[in-house]
Amino acid sequence: MVIKRIAETSAGAVSELFARDEVERVLALLLASPLFAKSRRMGGLLRFLVEHDLQSSNIPLTEHAIGIAVFRRDPAVYCTGDDPVVRVQVGRLRRKLASYYATLGQHDPLRLSVPAGSYRMAYERLKPKVASSQHPVLQLQPFTCITHDGRDFTRGLCEELSCRLFESFEHSQTHANHVLMNVPRSSVKTPVPGRAGRCSYSLEGSVRVEPARVRASVRLIDVAQGRIRWSEQFDRNRPYSIATQEDLAESICRSLTGYFGRGSDDG
């Protein structure tokens, strides 16, 4: 058996089919969640509305019918005008479902709701988000230490920078050009399989260290055109240490995100 509903998605109103076992799994997850597990009345209302759809019941799903079936009102005296229990509890159910899908269920592919002005459940299947192929991909290459000492410092700087760039580009939606990160785990300057065709930029750099001074030279290479799009040098007059790595990584990340934020194709 399947449930057929008109579900609003990003593509507009489309016809969706939902299998009984899928809907039952979704219902079980909802009832076991903290938002519903401690509320027998709310859980009972949700279960009734979903099972009504699963059973294709001939009982009209009216406010009066819900009041009798779920809230045990006496059919002989129950008047929906005097007793608003169904309207109140369905309103609470709408808010609880919205809260659940904003927190615990934010990644659930199938969502349940009760549209305003209705007592029937609505079922919506969210389409998975696919990264646009138009987003540039930034590949961070291992930096090179060109002085006798400082190889460990250089590796540490790369690790610090990769973390900060990932946080800035992969987790943030505020930049004008959203950038996907690609960080190879070896010194081989080859794009990771799966993103090779979309590697737009390569970030390369070299590091020179002295006892009380560090210089990092960083370049952003346009892979397709083979040209330097952005280049800067970052100096620190201090011994090379973890604090210096953090400081340099923060400056490089801020400057690079600023470049992409201004529009990387302007240059």
The number of distinct structural domains making up the chain is 2
Q: Are 147 and 170 in the same domain?
A: yes
CA separation for the pair 255, 205 (Å, rounded): 14
Residue-range definition of the domain harbouring residue 105: 2-125
Is there a domain that residue 76 lies in?
yes
Q: For residue 185, count CB atoms less than 10 angstroms from its CB and return exposed for 0-12, middle for 13-18, buried for 19 or more.
A: exposed
The CA distance from 191 to 203, in Å, is 12
Same-domain status, 146 and 227: yes
In a domain, 6, yes or no: yes
Residue 106 sits in the same domain as residue 164 = no
Residues 141 and 229 occupy one common structural domain:
yes
- Give the model's pLDDT for residue 220: 93
Domain end residue (candidates: 96, 125, 154): 125
pTM of the model: 0.47
Given 97, 125, 153, the domain boundary residue is: 125
Q: Do 8 and 105 share a structural domain?
A: yes
Q: Are residues 160 and 90 part of one domain?
A: no
Contact 239, 149 (CB under 8 A): no
Residue 131 lies in a domain: no
Non-local CB neighbours of 139 within 8 Å, separated by 6+ positions: 182, 183, 184, 191, 192, 195, 199, 201, 202, 203, 223
Domain identity same for 146 and 99: no
* pLDDT values of the chain reduced to their tens digit, one per residue, 267 residues: 555 554 443 333 333 567 888 999 999 999 999 889 888 899 999 999 999 988 866 667 899 999 999 999 999 999 999 999 999 999 999 999 999 998 888 888 899 999 998 899 999 988 766 555 566 788 888 999 998 888 999 999 998 898 888 877 765 544 434 555 555 443 334 444 344 445 588 899 999 998 889 999 999 998 888 899 999 999 999 888 889 999 999 999 989 888 887 765 444
Q: Which of 125, 157, 186 represents a domain boundary (last residue)?
A: 125
Q: Which residues pair with 180 in a beta bridge?
A: 137
Shared domain check, 88 and 17: yes
Within a domain: residue 168?
yes
Looking at the domain assignment, is residue 132 inside a domain?
A: no
Question: What does the H/E/C string look like for the chain?
Answer: CEEEEEEEECCEEEEEEEEHHHHHHHHHHHHHCHHHHCCHHHHHHHHHHHHHHHHCCCCCCCHHHHHHHHHCCCCCCCCCCCCCHHHHHHHHHHHHHHHHHHCCCCCCCEEEECCCCCCCCEEEECCCCCCCCCCCEEEECCCEECCCCCHHHHHHHHHHHHHHHHHHHCCCCCCCCCCEEECCCCCCCCCCCCCHHHEEEEEEEEEEEECCEEEEEEEEEECCCCEEEEEEEEEECCCCCHHHHHHHHHHHHHHHHHHHHHCHHHC
CATH number, domain with residue 146: 3.40.50.10070
Rg, Å, the chain Cα set: 29
> Residue 166 phi/psi, 5° resolution?
-60, -45
Query: Under a CB-based contact definition with an 8 Å cutoff, are residues 136 and 169 in contact?
Result: no
